[in-house]
Amino acid sequence: MGGSTSRWDLGGASSERVSGAIGQNGRVSDPSTQPIGLSTGLPSTTIPPLGAAERHLLSQALAADPGSRRSDVAAFVADHPRTLDGWAELGGLGRDAIEAYAAFRVGYHRGLDTLRANGWRGSGYVRWDTPSNHGFLRCLLGLQRRAAEIGEVDEAERCALFLLQLDPTGVPAEFGEIASVGA
């Protein structure tokens, strides 16, 4: 072999087969320095927790007397529209199925935006065992239940499937159950 020699014996491999191993300097890179993916499955995404100030303001709105609680939570959500826990609470305080459905739907879509901003790429887990994920998951669960209640069967089924894809262990008992659909 004339000219320069490489530290690595390519064993007769064509340049096309080893092109991925050639570094920017034109030399064959040491494969022992390349990262190896040891993933054990789908990644998990975690929504960042609420800040102390937001948590305090939401707890104050929830502590209001029952006659003004819904309007206090709505005012909180208006001031903090990216706070998923606020949308989940507002959905739970809805005066009827449609109002609750609308709040849960907005919270769900805000949650998708938040997940994407935190690395989620449309697949992977968003687990119930992470408290900061609860706002999004409660919105999705509320949307599923209200969709079933108002007869949006296809949406209720999609939401139920999505909940189980996001966390195959299921919905913890403290949050209730996925609504039955059709029959």
Domains in the chain, CATH or no CATH each: 52-170 (1.25.40)
For residue 4, the model assigns a pLDDT of 46
Answer for the pair 77, 87: CB distance below 8 angstroms, yes or no.
yes
pTM, 2 dp: 0.78
| pLDDT of amino acid 33 | 59
Q: Residues 124, 116: contact at Cβ < 8 Å?
A: no
Q: For 147-182, what is each residue's pLDDT tens digit?
A: 999 999 999 999 999 999 999 999 999 999 999 987
pLDDT lower than 70: segments of the chain:
1-40, 183
Residue 30, pLDDT score: 59
CA–CA gap between residue 31 and residue 29 (Å, rounded): 6
**CA 15/CA 76 separation, integer angstroms:** 62
